[in-house]
Amino acid sequence: METAEQKSTAFKKISEGKKHNISLYSFIEDWYGTPYRFGGDNRFGIDCSAFTRQLYNDVYNLPIVRTSIEQFTQVERIATSELKEGDLVFFKIHSKRISHVGVYLYDGKFVHASVSQGVVISDLGDAYWTRYYAGGGRMNHI
């Protein structure tokens, strides 16, 4: 569970981000804390790929495919060192195939719909995410 300090830090980073990309960080602020629900696609509950799909639609006006596996097949693969704001980050969590996706922000941070915490900002450098990281990808239209 996210602590009050972590949430406060996240909202400070969201405020900072708004100075550079108001539509992206306003979207994150609006959805922050929305609970996770497998197959969900609304404010009552959303899964990771529906979240990335909604973000791409609302922020970049770019419709993308629905599932994390489909999204993985649609991106140009890029090295972690080349990730930039808006790129997708993929994970294989307890699976041999892609099972989770998020949107890269900056300095190793990414936003995603977490099973345990809902929509949250996490760090690729955390041991958990490092263990399951499968790679980054860029949609050519953003």
Could you identify the residue written with the tokens 């404010």? 43
pTM above 0.85, yes or no: yes
Q: What was the pLDDT predicted at 9?
A: 77
Please report, in tens digits, the pLDDT of each residue of the chain (142 residues total): 677 777 777 777 777 777 778 899 999 999 999 999 999 999 999 999 999 999 999 999 999 999 999 999 999 999 999 999 999 999 999 999 999 999 999 999 999 999 999 999 999 999 999 999 999 999 976 5
| CA 140 from centroid of its chain's CA atoms | 17
* CA distances from residue 54 to 13, 76, 105, 112 in whole angstroms, order as listed: 21, 20, 16, 11
Identify whether 112 is a catalytic site residue: yes
Catalytic residue among 20, 94, 100, 141: 100
Task: Write out the DSSP string of 55-104.
Answer: HHHHHH-----SSHHHHHHHSEEE-GGG--TT-EEEE-SSSSS--EEEEE
Catalytic residue among 20, 94, 112, 141: 112
Number of H helices, E strands in the chain: 5, 8
> Which residue from 116, 112, 139 is spatially nearest to 124, judged by alpha carbons?
112
Q: What was the pLDDT predicted at 142?
A: 58
Identify whether 141 is a catalytic site residue: no
CATH assignment at residue 92: 3.90.1720.10
Which structural domain, as residue segments, surrounds residue 127?
Answer: 4-138
40 contacts 66 by C-beta, under 8 angstroms: no
Catalytic residue among 20, 48, 94, 141: 48
Identify whether 100 is a catalytic site residue: yes
The total domain count for the chain is: 1
Q: What was the pLDDT predicted at 1?
A: 63
- b/e 80-108 (16+ beta carbons within 10 angstroms → b): eeebebbbbbbbbeeeeebbbbbbbbeeb
